[in-house]
Amino acid sequence: MAKEKKSGDKFSMEEKIMKALEKVRPQLQMDGGDVSFVEYDKKTGVVKVRLMGMCSHCPMSQVTLKQGIAEEIVKEVPEVKDVVSV
């Protein structure tokens, strides 16, 4: 999948998503976890992320994914329709 390029002061979708992830990352890291961006599917609007550290096996990880990570990404990048963990 080709990455979108910057045009003027506009950022690519990947850069916008990564910027949103940076907002939630400190909270995850305080609990020994983290998240990394995997890919964005422009056709479906789905973002794939990888939960790491304590987040990767926490029983509350799906709540964190949907109510923390996904909410922030969709707020910052309305083109995103869903966020899933891989």
What are the structural domains, with CATH classification, of the chain?
13-85 (3.30.300.130)
Angle at 28 between CA 26 and CA 34, to 5 degrees: 100
Average pLDDT over residues 41-65: 94
pTM for the structure as a whole: 0.83
Band of residue 43 on the pLDDT scale cut at 50, 70, 90: very high
Structure tokens at 19: 């910027």
Please say if the pLDDT value at position 74 is more than 80.
yes
At 25 the pLDDT is 94
